[in-house]
Amino acid sequence: MNRIKCIVSYDGSKFHGFQVQNQFRTVQGEIQKAIKNICKDESIVIHASGRTDAKVHGRRQVFHFDTLREMPEKQWKRAINHFLPNDIYIIDSFLVDENFHSRYSATKKEYHYMLSMNDYSPFETNYIYQYGKELDIEAMRNAAKIFIGEHDFASFCAVDQYGNTIRTLYQIEIENNQGIVTFKLVGNGFRRYMVRHLVGGLIQVGSHRITKEFLEELIESKGQKKCLFKAKPQGLYLHEVFYK
């Protein structure tokens, strides 16, 4: 049995998210269909570092799968890309040992969220949230500090999710490049909708609708008071997954 690790990039615009769903076009579904062409007699299931939601993009998502098929490791990249549609691309492929797991071996993840304060652009609409107004960048940078460290992020997670909502955020950087704002978040893990709620809350601070103190109240309430601001999926990128 060979375990193959792939780094994959995808434009999320035309997918109903990552995870396989009957009758819907998904990233996992398309990748498994491509691999099926190569490993004809096997039933291959890929395991990603985590799911991404509909319209969310992947820059360097990671997945692995097991196969009996023997091939030089770099050949997998070429072979799978040959069968993939043009909005998914395998950047690299590796033969890894069986202790590697895309999800359980990941130590850190980096997400980026892109927002435009400029006039609307039809070219950016699927890739950068078209906010179209000025934001107070310094106020957002200042407020972002309260998220750093280990917290119970229950107030910033999807309401339908149970279980452990404690996560550690190592870094939030907010860059402004000619009106295009990029939020860069690095943490040991992110629950569903967590990045979009964190960024949504910061946008409210940046537009002076709420204060840093209100965001602090939310996080300290550990789920009792929910963050009601969720940034649109279009600006979100799973940027990188880190392993030991």
Of residues 63-102, which lie at the interface with its own copies (CB under 8 A)? Answer: 81, 86-89, 91
C-alpha closest to that of 94 among 9, 8, 36? 8
Q: Give a three-class secondary structure readout of 61-102.
A: EEEEEEECCCCCHHHHHHHHHHHCCCCEEEEEEEEECCCCCC
Relative orientation angle of helices 73-83 and 27-36, to the nearest 10 degrees: 110
| Dihedral pair phi/psi, residue 186, rounded to 5° | -120, 130
Report, in Å, the least distance between residue 141 CB and its own copies: 27
Q: Which residue among 119, 160, 162, 177 contacts its own copies (CB under 8 A)?
A: 119
| DSSP strand pairing (106-116 vs 236-243) | antiparallel
**Contact between residue 117 and residue 187 where contact means Cβ atoms under 8 Å apart:** no
Report, in Å, the least distance between residue 42 CB and its own copies: 26
**Positions marked catalytic:** 53
Q: What share of the chain is helix, strand, coil (3-state, %, to 5)?
A: 25, 30, 45
Please report, as a single letter, which amino acid is at residue 136.
Answer: D
Q: Using the rule CB under 8 A, is 182 a contact of its own copies?
A: no
Site string for its own copies, 137-176 (x = CB under 8 A): ----------------------------------------
Q: Using the rule CB under 8 A, is 24 a contact of its own copies?
A: no
Report, in Å, the least distance between residue 172 CB and its own copies: 23
Q: Using the rule CB under 8 A, is 10 a contact of its own copies?
A: yes
Stretch that binds its own copies, among 34-42, 101-109, 117-125, 192-200 (CB under 8 A): 117-125
Taking the least distance from each CB to its own copies, the nearer of 22 and 86 is 86
Q: Quick check: helix, strand or coil at residue 32? A: helix
Taking the least distance from each CB to its own copies, the nearer of 60 and 108 is 60
Report, in Å, the least distance between residue 140 CB and its own copies: 25
| Angstrom distance (rounded) from CA 240 to CA 244 | 13
Q: How many residues bind its own copies (CB under 8 A)?
A: 17
How many residues in total does the chain contain?
A: 244
Taking the least distance from each CB to its own copies, the nearer of 14 and 145 is 14
Residue 193 is labelled as binding a ligand: no
Interface residues with its own copies (CB under 8 A) are 9-11, 57, 81, 86-89, 91, 119-123, 125, 127
